[in-house]
Amino acid sequence: MRTLQLHITGLVAGILALLLISGPALADGVSRGALLASMCETCHGTDGVGAKPMQSINGMDVKDFVDFMKAFVSREEASTMMYRHAEGYTDEEIQAMAEYFKDR
């Protein structure tokens, strides 16, 4: 029983330590952008540099990037994949991704 309690205490301490480490990183705009961007890099390539025929999304003007994402959501921009990928992000998250990819 005592061993179990020690394990649980260790687990809780570990989780708290993780939260302490990840908290400040997530509050940082660039790190948050990097985290969100990792979802996009599966298709668009590392740092958004796509292997043809996949479009690269690095170095894009922030406004163009945001406009693209909104146009995918509203279905104004033709898409096979991006409808579902553009949905589900807040304006602030899209902004963070735009700023991240702009500097890649």
Q: Which residues lie near ligand HEC (CB under 6 A)?
A: 39-40, 42-44, 55, 57, 65, 68, 79-82, 85, 97
In the bound state with ligand HEC, the residue whose beta carbon lies nearer, of 14 and 64, is: 64
In the bound state with ligand HEC, the residue whose beta carbon lies nearer, of 7 and 75, is: 75
* Rounded CA separation 91/13 (Å): 34
Cβ neighbourhood burial of 66 (10 Å; 0-12, 13-18, 19+): middle
Quote the least distance from Cβ 43 to ligand HEC, whole Å.
Answer: 3
Token pair listed for 12: 């809780």
Quote the least distance from Cβ 76 to ligand HEC, whole Å.
Answer: 12
* Rounded CA separation 23/25 (Å): 5
Quote the least distance from Cβ 104 to ligand HEC, whole Å.
Answer: 12
In the bound state with ligand HEC, the residue whose beta carbon lies nearer, of 85 and 104, is: 85
Question: Which of 62, 73, 54, 66 lies closest to 104, judged by CA?
Answer: 62
